Chains A and B, each alone.
Chain A
Amino acid sequence: MSALQLALATASLGGRPVLRDVNLTVAAGELVAVVGPNGAGKSSAIRALGGLLPLTGGHTRLDGADLSTLSPRERAARVAYLPQERRIAWNLPAVEIAALGAPFLAGAEATAAGRAALDELEVGYLADRGVAEMSGGERARVLLARALTTGARALLADEPIAGLDPDAQLMVLDRLKARARNGQAVLVSLHDLGLAARYADRVVVLDDGQVVADAAPLEALTPDVIARVFGLTARWVEGPEGPLLASSRYSDGGGGGVVRPVSSEL
């Protein structure tokens, strides 16, 4: 079984520890969601799995072998990475961006693969449009299409649905879930706990560079964990399409812990 794994990984950025003894695995056939507040280490964990963040301790392994022993090309053939950064330097058309996922294929084959990925994410109509004429959400989907074009068995996506409209968020997660069902190992970072619970096979909760929970969604995201990590009082309720999170926030205005609801239902 193919698996990508962080084993007791420790890393720092500018002297600040961002990962502390993190164990994290994503195996073929599963969709894993990494959640946590801002600065918890979600992006760092994903970058470490992609071989982009040097570890000061521990290992990144792919099918048991240390990732650093693989050549860039071998690594890219097995692991695709979608960064959070969405800036594209030039006004390239979508199909050419998607085709960059397959830099070793001949031009026509790469273009065909890129087009297929755009269609999969329902942005085939953007194929010939330049990025300057796209919305942020469209651009995000085109960049995800590039990561899908690679055909790698493991996919790491840092906030793939940030900035997408609700319909597109569900569509993208549906597609990623389908890819996991077809045998890919898919790991995404998400901010929306409700969507994480609904789509992920497993949820990893990170806080301050440490894994706080790693289990099936509702076992990982217990009211206690949500309270400690996110500062929310919350409970899961059964919705028509899966669990929904009813939550409220502790007031921090000196009121001594008065509960003030600011949002409910996701």
Chain B
Amino acid sequence: MTSGARLILAITLAIVIAAVFAVLFGETALTGAQFAEAFRDPSSGPGEVLWQVRAPRVATALIVGVALGLSGAVMQGLLRNPLADPGVLGVSAVAALGAAGAIVLGAAAVPGAVETAALVGAGLAGALLVLFSARVRSPEALILFGVALSSFAGAATALIFNLSPSPIATAEVMSWLLGSVQNRSWIDVAWVTPAVLLSGGLAILAAPGLRMLSLGEETARTSGLPMARLRLLALLAAALATGAAVAVAGVIGFVGLAAPHLVRTAVRGDPGRLLVPAALAGGLMLILADLLARMTPTDQELKLGVFTALVGAPLFALIAWRAAREWRL
């Protein structure tokens, strides 16, 4: 078995163990008898808790984490920058703006409307980035454009808060922006999974381009690979994965940044072979983060996005510090 396959197997095993724990433990402690009942009769009370509350929540955390880890790995490869993540390019912020707009306009009552608005936002951000990157090839310029896009979307979201006549809608937007996988159903899992799998397929097609970009723009352009197409595929994959993640769980930061770093050494830096392990590592991280967030004894349950940001921001600083020393960024 190759080292890459061993790594993927090991993370998958860890995901299974983490998922079992995450389904067994929760706010409501179940007794052994209740567990037995839940397994015997899924429609019983304990069965409902396990199979309709916790299991879809864990599955959502897994798939959202996979999406974030994947899009972080794609963006870091595309921009040749260890500090890139779905937030950096503004895709998360524009998706969040779409969802916030939909909620304030009263679309939350229509099933799927907020999710669609988030996906449309991510698609729009992706299209803008594609247009920009077709004209300007420098990764630094693309990052700056992403920062501008992100700031603008943040300002527009703030404007929505500012002008919103209804404090209830504002609270709803706020709660959604904080990011959570609480109360997600199998329906959420069912629609978000194909989107994430599709984005994974696109990313794997783009992998040779990401690998070649390690040696810089000019080497990639003279390598014979169809770089314009591969770059487009990579951007689409990142936008779709981020959009799907934001649509189902709101804004959850830092998983996309950190997941690729956890496995980069194991694949010896190769941005192509990084994709699958980084995606799985993202899934594992988010299952664990969600478990820790809901096991933390607070009156109000900690929002997953808040928890990952609290843990992730110092990590970001640490990675920046190490990157600056090792790579003279």
Contact = CB atoms under 8 A, between A and B. Distances in A.
Interface of A: 47, 50-52, 72-73, 75-77, 79-81, 83, 85, 87-93, 96-97, 100, 103-104, 130, 132, 143, 146
Nearest to A84: B218
A85 B81 CA distance: 16
Nearest to A80: B222
B222 A77 contact: no
A78 B81 CA distance: 31
Given A90-B271, A92-B269, A132-B326, A72 B227 contact: yes
A48 B256 CA distance: 39
B224 interface: yes
B219 interface: yes
Interface stretch (B110-118, B194-202, B207-215, B281-289): B207-215
Contacts of A88: 214-216
16 contacts: A52-B221, A52-B222, A72-B222, A72-B226, A76-B225, A77-B224, A81-B218, A87-B216, A89-B216, A90-B271, A92-B268, A100-B215, A103-B208, A103-B224, A103-B225, A132-B326
A100 B269 CA distance: 14
A95 to B, nearest CB: 10
B303 interface: no
A72 B208 CA distance: 15
Contacts of A52: 218, 221-222
Nearest to A47: B218
A47 B217 CA distance: 13
B80 interface: yes
A100 B265 CA distance: 19
Contacts of A77: 224
Interface of B: 80-81, 208, 211-216, 218-219, 221-227, 264-265, 268-271, 326
Given A93-B268, A96-B270, A85 B216 contact: yes
B270 A92 contact: yes
A93 B268 CA distance: 7
Contacts of A100: 211-212, 214-215, 219, 223
A-B CB proximity, top 6 nearest = A76-B224, A90-B269, A89-B80, A91-B269, A81-B222, A73-B224
A148 to B, nearest CB: 13
B201 to A, nearest CB: 20
Given A72-B221, A103-B212, A130-B269, 15 more contacts: A51-B222, A52-B221, A72-B226, A73-B224, A73-B226, A76-B224, A76-B225, A80-B222, A83-B216, A85-B218, A96-B268, A100-B212, A100-B214, A100-B223, A103-B224
